Structure 1
Amino acid sequence: MSRQRGNVEERNAAVITGDIVKSQSLSDEDFSRIIQALKAQLTTYARLYDGHFDVFRGDAFQFVTSHSQSVMRIALGIRLALKAMTPSSDIRVSCAVGEVTFRPSEVKTGTGQAFVLSGRGLDELKGQYVSFQCEYGSLARHTSLLTRFADSHLAGLTQTQSETVLAYLVSEDKNHDAVATSLGKTRSNVTRILNASNYRLIAEYLAFMEQEISTVLSGTTI
């Protein structure tokens, strides 16, 4: 449910808080290129998922979306996009679902449990790149191990694998021919890369998280 007072929105939503890994070691040129790519990804996902975002402190960002069930798809999509870049980069992202109050023009000043959980989750990330928290029920505990496995799996993907898996995930047509066409690669090459990436596991994890979040938000407990 969403309520609006003036330009302040109150709703159940998902918040992603993140930052670029080892940004201080990047050259000015590479950092500028990565920030530009990050903003492009955030803009795309904001358009697709009714989202709003801020980039601040140089290498940090927050993204809020009313499509809470898609929060992990958005977070992992941004991560894959940056891993696919030259130079390849990575981000830490903390995702949370709950109540929020925010101004679309200034997301970073938002309040509410989802903002609290997301910010706290990023502070507590140790040896991981992705975490998920939820204000409702035991969903975070229920899915924690799977998220850690998904996180570890993504960390091991190469630049080419990241690019190809992302192309598969965002493609409306999941046929490998369509993915190959979007990348300018042969079908056999795309199939080989996807299979080596265990892409089905990533897709199944995202589908599972979407279903679990939707179930909780519909009022069903786990």
Structure 2
Amino acid sequence: MIAVLTGDIVRSTKMSERQYQDLIQLLREHISTLSNSYQARGQVYRGDEFQIHFPDPDFAIKQTILLKLLLITSPVISTPIHCTLSLAFGQHSVMDASPGTSTGPVYVDSGRKLDTSQREALVVTFSDCQNDPSLTLLTSCISHQLNKLTQSQAELLHMYIDSDFVEHQKLADKLGTSRQNISNRLSSMGAHLIRDYIQLINQKLR
């Protein structure tokens, strides 16, 4: 089993030429980082869409949410950059160096779900249980939660997830504030629910 993430930047046509170029550069640099850290491979195509495949699916859901948060907090433009993301877990027929020259059910599932999803949504699909209503509902709730975040909330949540859910005191020390302040902020955005969701998705891979 592998994981394939297909994404689409929302309202990219409203950006200036410079903002758009900076955004594409940000995506390419991030894909390069994922390649170095997790052997993931990806590409930007059709202007504002991208696809990344993860040979080891264990990293996929965490990195998918981190990418969504990275775009929200990006300094490329003054307002958050939102995206639609379709993450699929399943089998492949051919996994080449590039997703564009790879094929199999998991690539088809990821692309089709992106095409039929609402804008800014996060969609997660397992090829062996595509009609699981409980997973669909839970993912929709998490997606709604992520899309409501302010940039400052997204920055803190990114730090929390990227540090593997470090103790609140360590985040407080890093940011020069109190543990209670960090705990209150994380609680208000439902960070523990997002943590549990990531763990649940990874448990389904076992």
TM-score (norm 2): 0.88
Letter in 1 for 2:123: S
Q: Which residue of 2 aligns with 1:71?
A: 60
Further displaced range: 85-94 or 26-35: 26-35
1:7-22 matches, within 5 Å, as 12-22=1-11
Counterpart-to-counterpart distance in 1, 2:66 and 2:54: 14
Q: Is the 8 A contact 2:34 2:40 kept in 1?
A: yes
Q: Is the 8 A contact 1:171 1:179 kept in 2?
A: no
**Paired residues, what number?**
201
Q: Is the 8 A contact 1:15 1:115 kept in 2?
A: yes
Post-superposition offset of 1:32: 2.3
Does residue 61 of the first structure (1) align with residue 53 of the second (2)?
Answer: no
Q: Which residue of 2 aligns with 1:89?
A: 81
Q: Which residue of 2 aligns with 1:186?
A: 177
Does residue 162 of the first structure (1) align with residue 154 of the second (2)?
Answer: yes
Q: Which residue of 2 aligns with 1:205?
A: 197
Does residue 51 of the first structure (1) align with residue 44 of the second (2)?
Answer: no
Q: Which residue of 2 aligns with 1:218?
A: none
Counterpart-to-counterpart distance in 1, 2:158 and 2:149: 11
TM-score (norm 1): 0.82
Letter in 2 for 1:195: S
Post-superposition offset of 1:33: 2.4
Which of the numbers 128, 140, 144 marks the counterpart of 1:136?
Answer: 128
Q: Which has the higher strand share?
A: 1
CA deviation string 1:158-185 (max 9, x = no partner): 1110111010001146022332455x44
- Runs (5+) with no aligned partner, structure 2: none
Which of the numbers 103, 107, 127 marks the counterpart of 2:96?
Answer: 103
Counterpart-to-counterpart distance in 1, 2:137 and 2:28: 30
- Runs (5+) with no aligned partner, structure 1: 1-11, 216-222
